[in-house]
Amino acid sequence: MPEVALENLTRRYGAQLVVDRVNLLVAEGEFLCLLGPSGCGKTTTLQMVAGFVEPTLGTVRLAGRDVSQVPPARRGLGVVFQSYALFPHMSVAENVAFGLAMRRVPRAEAASRVADALAMVRLSGMEQRYPRQLSGGQQQRVALARALVIRPQALLLDEPLSNLDAKLRDEMQLELRRIHRDAGITAIMVTHDQGEAMALADRIAIMNAGVIEQVGPPEAVYDQPATAFVAGFLGRTNLLDAAMLRGIAPAGTAPRWSLRPERLRITAPGEGQLAGRVSTRVFQGSQTLYELDTPLGALFCVQGAGSGGASEGQAVGIAFDAADLRPLAA
């Protein structure tokens, strides 16, 4: 399974710069998530890799070979669409066999490969069904089998789980991880769901306004966000100006800092670095959310279950480790 390289990939529609000099190297067998809000250019980036959209500038390489001029039908990439794009007039088996038919794979070999692919996505026995007879999760699996059966150089997934309900989405996340591991394939997935990205990806690339703001393993981008956008998009955070922190915590030279809500501890009044008051408290079972009134403004705080509690209106102390303050680029 070869690596995928995006070099200076750029796409312009008229005056609008949708994707701006994206550079990414996806290693062999790696699962990379392109994460960002809608309209950030992540889908356009994926479409350029697939070959459906022509880059204004830049290069796509598969295993080192420039495929920018190769038509999408010859790139040999497996694509899974948000709508699944199953052929409604073909049975499950015909859908999965389509790519093999295009490659003129002999009938007997095609049949066994289709059976293997359906077994991998646990749909054996469904061969003769039509897409409209399948649930959303099953359609999703057919789409995966259809993309994988052609033994693609890499797998491209465009918001593959966004049409599923919450419970199915969790199941399919596990399934996707298993399939990715079993197939050992390089995969690029586009999503706007940060939870999905952190659950699935080896590395996350966070896009905003056509630019990649940060790339790294989920833990790294979550714990050490490089920009205010990344800190805010990946989970909730408290954004603090350097000026406000003077005298409270030894801050470095960065102008803005991020402090994750779960890094704050509620203590007895008079303890900790800050004094405050609980303005809102929301109990969520495994954790409790607090909004605190402090000299730094409203701070957002998450406490695990069993960490005691404070009621609304109560005066509290607030403690944190200076090491949990993360510097942000302007």
Partner 1 sequence: MIRNGPVALLFHAVFIGFMLAPLVLVCVVSFTDRAFLSLPSWPPSLRWYHALAENADFIRAFRTSLWLGLASATLAVVLSVPAAMAIARHPARGAEPVRAFLLSPLLVPHVVLGVAFLRFFSGAGINGTFVALLVAHVLIILPYALQLVLAAAYGVDPRLGQAAVSLGAQPLQVFRRVTLPLLMPGIASGWLLAFLHSFDELTMTVFLADPGTTTLPVRLYLHIEETIDPLVTAASSLLIIGALVLMALLDRLYGLDRLLAGKGR
Binding residues for partner 1, rule: CB under 8 A, are 50, 52, 71-79, 81-83, 85-89, 98-99, 102-103, 146-147, 150
Q: CB of residue 53 vs partner 1: minimum separation in angstroms?
A: 10
In sequence order, what are the beta bridge partners of 214?
206
Q: CB of residue 117 vs partner 1: minimum separation in angstroms?
A: 13
* Residue closer to partner 1 (CB basis): 131 or 261: 131
Which tokens sit at 102?
Answer: 């295009």
Q: CB of residue 92 vs partner 1: minimum separation in angstroms?
A: 14
φ, ψ dihedrals at 122, nearest 5°? 60, 50
* Residue closer to partner 1 (CB basis): 74 or 167: 74
- Residue 292 three-state SS: strand
CA distances, 310 to each of 46, 190, 287, 304 (Å):
47, 40, 13, 13
Q: CB of residue 47 vs partner 1: minimum separation in angstroms?
A: 8
Q: CB of residue 80 vs partner 1: minimum separation in angstroms?
A: 9
* Residue closer to partner 1 (CB basis): 131 or 216: 131
Q: How is the chain split among helix, strand and coil, in percent rounded to 5?
A: 30, 30, 40
- Angle at which helices 107-120 and 92-102 cross, to 10°: 130
CA-CA distance, 321 to 12, in Å (whole number)? 45
* Residue closer to partner 1 (CB basis): 30 or 159: 159
